């Protein structure tokens, strides 16, 4: 072999190595993010852009719900808390990670979050990238304080937001007049107790919101919440009896009910015809006991781990009979996993996978 031939072969090998390095770099850069990776086969480009990898088994057992009318979502509160910025990592978890891990764990919807893009077009783009949608906004009313105009303005703002987003007709509403869940006091003994006049004002306000929503092809679901004036079974009974079932539905939040001493299964059976939205939240019984015994406030209880996801062996709530009851009532709408937790103490993605796998096993969805 002469020097000229050897030099040419060396250059050829060098070029080949450069190409191989480039291909490896391309693969590492573009193919290692399963939450947004698309299958490169004979699908259309539209199909490829929406094919997401999931960590949840893809087997399809028979579903107890109609898969075309019941959707699984998860809230951002498992990653960070909008009511307490200290319930987050340092540096804070970015919204891109939250959305991607939701999609990666197999969920299709999310609540809104202050971390999410405020520009509607950017938000829709980021959601579409991960095959997600917004399941619901949160509307805190203050009808019991006489703030009717302010409550209506916030409701209309969120209604228009949901119409722009599309994909869901649910609007979650809770009365926050006198609420203590964000204050440094024990929520159960310090929650507000409404007067008869306040109950009348609340019912009238909710009926009005529900009527507006119905005219716009939307619906409201009322959220009984710890530390508010609608917390226990007597409160729920009164609210349901004084509001128009055509306009006002009930949100079943298993964790808040259990926290407030209410059996979620009993509420499910009693109001299955009015439950139009569901938050699946689990409770760690030892933490709840300590919270009540020591008078912990709501946010401190969250930091101590009072909530967890369905499927967590540390949880106290048996979700299977609740889900079966909903299925028997032919429930349609969102089943939202919601578990406010401190990401410094537990892994949000792992929790999401636990919940999604559990729901797959017990519902077939």
What pLDDT digit, counting tens, does each position of 170-184 carry?
999 999 999 999 999
Looking at residue 46, its pLDDT comes to 36
- Model confidence pLDDT, tens digit, residues 197-253: 999 999 999 999 999 999 999 999 999 999 999 999 999 999 999 999 999 999 999
Looking at residue 167, its pLDDT comes to 83
CATH architecture, domain 55-363: Alpha-Beta Barrel (3.20)
* Domain residue ranges in the chain: 55-363
Kindly report the three-state secondary structure assignment for every residue of the chain: CCHHHHHHHHHHHHHHHHHHHHHHHHHHHHCCCCCCCCCCCCCCHHHHHCCCCCCCCCCCCCCCCCCCCEEEEECHHHCCCCCCCCCCCCCCCCHHHHHHHHHHCCCCEEECCCCCCCCHHHHHHHHHHCCCEEEECEEEECHHHCCHHHHHHHHHHHHHHHHHHCCCCEEEEEECCCCCCCCCCCHHHHCCCCCHHHHHHHHHHHHHHHHHHHHCCCEEEECCCCCCCCCCHHHHHHHHHHCCCCCEEEEEEHHHHHHCCCCHHHHHHHCCCCEEEEEECEECHHHHHHHHHHCCCHHHHHHCCCEECCCCCCCCCCHHHHHHHHHHCCCCEEEEECCCCCCCCCCHHHHHHHHHHHHHHHHCC
Looking at residue 184, its pLDDT comes to 97
Residue stretches of the chain with pLDDT short of 50: 1-51
């Amino acid at each position: 072999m002469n020097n000229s031939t050897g030099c040419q072969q060396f250059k050829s090998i060098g070029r080949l190595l450069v190409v191989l390095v480039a291909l490896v770099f391309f693969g590492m850069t573009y193919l290692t993010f399963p939450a947004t990776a698309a299958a490169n086969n004979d699908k259309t480009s539209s199909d490829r852009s929406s094919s997401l990898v999931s960590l949840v088994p893809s087997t399809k057992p028979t579903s107890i719900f109609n898969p075309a009318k019941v959707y699984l979502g998860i809230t951002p509160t498992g990653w960070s808390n909008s009511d307490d910025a200290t319930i987050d990592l340092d540096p804070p978890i970015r919204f891109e990670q939250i959305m991607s891990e939701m999609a990666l764990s197999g969920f299709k919807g999310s609540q809104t979050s202050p971390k999410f893009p405020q520009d509607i077009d950017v938000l829709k783009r980021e959601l579409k990238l991960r095959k997600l949608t917004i399941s619901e906004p949160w509307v805190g009313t203050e009808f019991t304080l006489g703030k009717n105009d302010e409550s209506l303005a916030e409701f209309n703002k969120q209604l228009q937001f949901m119409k722009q987003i599309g994909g869901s007709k649910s609007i979650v509403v809770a009365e926050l007049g006198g609420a203590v869940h964000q204050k440094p006091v024990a929520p159960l003994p310090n929650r507000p107790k409404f007067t008869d006049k306040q109950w009348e004002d609340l019912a009238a306000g909710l009926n009005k919101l529900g009527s507006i929503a119905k005219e716009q092809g939307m619906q409201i679901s009322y959220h009984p919440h710890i530390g508010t004036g609608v917390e226990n079974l007597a409160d729920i009974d009164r609210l349901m009896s004084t509001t128009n079932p055509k306009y006002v539905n009930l949100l079943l939040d298993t964790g808040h009910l259990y926290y407030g001493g209410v059996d979620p299964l009993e509420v499910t059976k009693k109001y299955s015809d009015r439950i139009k939205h569901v938050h699946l939240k689990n409770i760690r019984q030892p933490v709840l006991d300590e919270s009540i015994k020591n008078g912990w406030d709501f946010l401190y209880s969250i930091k101590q781990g009072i909530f967890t996801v369905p499927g967590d062996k540390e949880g106290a709530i048996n979700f299977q009979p609740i889900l079966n009851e909903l299925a028997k009532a032919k429930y349609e709408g969102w089943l939202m996993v919601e578990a406010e937790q401190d990401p410094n103490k537990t892994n949000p993605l792992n929790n999401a996978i636990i919940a999604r796998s559990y729901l797959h096993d017990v519902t077939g969805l």
